[in-house]
Structure 1
């Protein structure tokens, strides 16, 4: 597994959700499926699914917000009803792997950040992009925001 530092600018349109961090594993995919029924309403989309997550700051931080949506190729003037346009340009530590290994990927990224001496940016959203591959499997690319 390769970890690296990148600067990325994400432009996306999506639906906002929220709830307890413990339920993100079921709630986020559920909202993503709802969003996909409306993806054709989004102009100029890339087809790449994206999710942004509020980071869990400490053990007492039990609820968070998230967005599920699709990356767009340019800034949108009109956004479908019930959706939001968001853009984030940050420094991230990133890795990519099979979605079934997502917990392990997150653990490895967190470990690598410490080893490299980076500091997480807990005020910025964690970004995940989703990429279908052969055999109906899927890969996830994870971007953890860091301070420069």
Structure 2
């Protein structure tokens, strides 16, 4: 674990092994449009939240990593973390489970791009190699009396 100064504030970056069990809806489009397309699909998903049992109320998104400058379109999932492996999910939804090594950080959602850049820089400084074949994960956490926070998980090779 390392604490970095980021915008005058201490931000924790660390390596973790995490298992994510997710029920969600798949979307796709231009990487440049993810900033508007992901929240739009998330709203559609949340309207169907009552169809999913055993969820933890933690919203999550999984993103195909952009591999290079000519990789212009990708896919993503929006959903919720569920407590156990699912054999059946509602129509039009998918179950995704990942168990990987990640580098992670957490902060205000308004700092999303800065958090991603800071985490990438820290991971490179530590010598971690990104796993571009696995999804980037973001979990979303409403905060009492303050702005929502996001936790970012970038998959790495060990």
Is TM (by shorter chain) over 0.5? yes
Establish whether residue 43 from structure 1 lines up as the match of residue 53 from structure 2.
yes
Residue by residue over 1:32-79, the C-alpha shift from the partner in whole angstroms, topping out at 9 and shown as x without a partner, is 011000011011000000000000000000000000000000011220
Which 5+ residue runs of structure 2 have no aligned equivalent?
Answer: 1-10
TM-score in terms of structure 1 length: 0.98
Which 5+ residue runs of structure 1 have no aligned equivalent?
Answer: none
1:30 aligned to which of 40, 49, 52: 40
What is residue 13 of structure 1 aligned with on the other side? 23
Establish whether residue 76 from structure 1 lines up as the match of residue 90 from structure 2.
no
Instruction: Say which SS state the counterpart of residue 129 (structure 2) adopts.
Output: coil
TM-score in terms of structure 2 length: 0.92
What is residue 129 of structure 1 aligned with on the other side? 139
1:86 aligned to which of 84, 93, 96: 96
RMSD (Å), alpha carbons = 0.7
Q: Distance in 1 between matches of 2:67 and 2:88?
A: 33
Residue by residue over 1:103-123, the C-alpha shift from the partner in whole angstroms, topping out at 9 and shown as x without a partner, is 000000100011000000000
Q: Distance in 1 between matches of 2:121 and 2:70?
A: 22
What is residue 115 of structure 1 aligned with on the other side? 125
What is residue 56 of structure 1 aligned with on the other side? 66
Structure with the higher strand share, 1 or 2: 2
Moved over 6 A (4+): none
What is residue 153 of structure 2 aligned with on the other side? 143
Instruction: Say which SS state the counterpart of residue 12 (structure 2) adopts.
Output: coil
